[in-house]
Amino acid sequence: MSTATEISSSISQPSSDQLAPPLSLGELTWRRFRRHKMALFGAVVLILLFLYSFGGALFVSEDYANLTDTTLRLQPPSAEHPFGTDTVGRDILARTLYGGQISLLIGIAAVLVETIVGILIGAIAGFYGGFLDSLLMRMTEAVVTIPQLFLLLVMAKFFAGRVPNIVLLGRTFSGSVVVIVLIIGLTSWPYLARIVRAEFLSLKENEFVLAARATGTPNWQIIFRHILPNSVAPIVVSATLGVANAILTESYISFLGLGVQPPTATWGNMLDGAYNYIETAPWLWIFPGTLIVLIVLSINFLGDGLRDALDPRSRAV
């Protein structure tokens, strides 16, 4: 008799899980994200690198970072110069602070260009379809065939010294920064455009889009207010990984001496010439190289975590 009473009471009284309110989209995303330990590690490292690059500039001036003193050339790490000095006596620690700012800004700015172009072309192709879709996709395929690294090398060589330096917020930026940002951004959008096009093709026939059309909503509002917000997950993941790709690409050409030119420092151009001192002065490449590895790994880990957290088909909570 007591057993029957316990069973009936357990049926009549809902559990705490049943009483809990449903999770919002943000809470569900955060639960999925925090299960990805490497993504959390990447996010922490990324925050620390931002604080290192932008916060450290509050204590070290750019003039000091660019100050040359040949009497101090190739000094090993010490209390006065924790990261040592380079071939012209500049403090490597100070240069990694300001070089990190430019590397991060190049990555973010290039991804902004890539995202804007990719979203516009992918959205138009997926929403309107037909001849416009075919035309834009053939253009996308043509851009994919362009070797990005080769184009960067050629354009960097062509525009070397022709683009004037830019003064922004009291800082002087090499004109090559603008060239690199535009080339990376304008050659990286095809992948994102294909993702956005696929999302629009799958969403434009849904009920909420058909209802918006039936009420006479303009096409641009349907694109940017109805379909695009529902496609934000793959866009965020692609943009996140694009930052790491842009930083690596800039490092490639700067290592070859054709990237960002002095007086602007980046982690990539700090490696220019360091191969001549791999054994005799390893601090020339260890510190900027380590920072590049950390920023790329942390962004990739973060992108993997965001992909899993924003996936609507994921059941992990």
pLDDT tens sequence across 193-208: 999 999 998 888 888 8
Dump pLDDT digits (tens) for 11-45: 555 554 455 566 666 777 778 888 888 989 999 99
Asked if pLDDT for residue 316 goes beyond 90, the answer is no
Q: How far apart are CA 96 and CA 81, in angstroms?
A: 12
Peptide bond into 282 cis (omega under 30): no
Please state the separation of Cα 287 from the chain's center in Å: 21
Instruction: Tell me, yes or no, whether 179 lies in a domain.
Output: yes
pLDDT at 18: 52
Q: Label each residue of the chain as H, E or C.
A: CHHHHHHHHHHHCCCHHHHCCCCCHHHHHHHHHHCCHHHHHHHHHHHHHHHHHHHHHHCCCHHHHCCCCHHHCCCCCCCCCCCCECCCCCEHHHHHHHHHHHHHHHHHHHHHHHHHHHHHHHHHHHHHCHHHHHHHHHHHHHHHCCCHHHHHHHHHHHHCCCCCCEEECCEEECCHHHHHHHHHHHHCHHHHHHHHHHHHHHHCCCHHHHHHHHCCCCHHHHHHHHHHHHHHHHHHHHHHHHHHHHHHHHHHHHHCCCCCCCCCCCCCHHHCCHHHHCCCCCHHHHHHHHHHHHHHHHHHHHHHHHHHHHCCCCCCC
Largest CA distance in the chain: 95
pLDDT of residue 254: 82
CATH code, domain with 276: 1.10.3720.10
Give the per-residue pLDDT at 50. 92
The pLDDT of residue 136 is 92
Asked if the structure places residue 70 within a domain, the reply is: no
Domain membership flag for residue 283 = yes
Residue 243 lies in a domain: yes
- Predicted TM-score of the model (pTM): 0.83
Greater confidence (64 vs 167) lies with: 64
7 occurs within a structural domain: no
Q: Is position 17 within any domain? A: no
Q: Report the percentage of the chain scoring pLDDT > 70.
A: 87
By residue range, what is the domain housing residue 183? 23-60+99-310
Residue 8 lies in a domain: no
Number of domains in the chain: 1
In a domain, residue 30? The reply is: yes
Q: Give per-residue pLDDT as tens, 65-85.
A: 888 888 888 889 998 989 999
